[in-house]
């Protein structure tokens, strides 16, 4: 997921004609830290998502939504695959066919989201 987000961030940054150094400065991080975000080597983009979106004038949903051709396992155990033609193909799956790697990715994402919630809670408490 980090690599996908990093590629999208790079694309939006390049489309705006902003250098890595300029965006890193706006985010108050080093260029090397920013470069690791774009290269998908870190998940620290989560901590900067709001400022990244503001700086690149992009909606958070556009940055986080899956690309075309993705496969997503839904809570009702159906697999949705975007067929690149605008349609969605659904296939029934079962609980025990989910790869361990996918489970690990979901667990990592849940952890990232929990950290993000805690971050925003602390920011909200600090502004009172």
Start-end of CATH 1.10.260.40 domains in the chain: 2-64
Contact of 59 with 53, CB cutoff 8 Å = yes
Domain 2-64 CATH (choose: 3.90.79.10, 1.10.260.40, 1.10.3720.10, 3.30.1360.120) = 1.10.260.40
CA distance 4 to 64: 9
Which position has the higher pLDDT, 28 or 102? 28
Burial of 120 by CB count in 10 Å (0-12 exposed, 13-18 middle, 19+ buried)?
A: exposed
pTM (2 d.p.): 0.53
Question: What is the structure's pLDDT at 70?
Answer: 43
Per-residue pLDDT of 49-60, as tens digits, reads 889 999 999 988
| C-alpha distances out from residue 109 to 55, 59, 115, Å | 24, 20, 10
> Per-residue pLDDT for 75 more than 90?
no
Per-residue pLDDT of 23-47, as tens digits, reads 999 999 999 999 999 998 888 788 8
Question: What is the structure's pLDDT at 98?
Answer: 57
């Amino acid at each position: 997921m980090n690599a996908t987000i990093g590629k999208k961030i790079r694309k939006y940054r390049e489309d705006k004609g902003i250098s890595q150094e300029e965006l890193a400065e706006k985010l108050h991080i080093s260029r090397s830290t920013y470069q690791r975000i774009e290269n998908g080597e870190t998940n620290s983009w989560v901590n900067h998502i709001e400022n990244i979106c503001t700086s690149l004038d992009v909606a958070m949903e556009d940055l986080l939504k899956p690309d075309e051709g993705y496969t997503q396992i839904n809570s009702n155990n159906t697999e949705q695959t975007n067929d690149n033609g605008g349609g969605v193909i659904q296939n029934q799956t079962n609980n025990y066919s989910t790869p361990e790697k996918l489970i690990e990715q979901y667990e990592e994402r849940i952890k990232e989201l929990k950290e993000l919630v805690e971050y925003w809670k602390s920011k909200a408490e600090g502004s009172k």
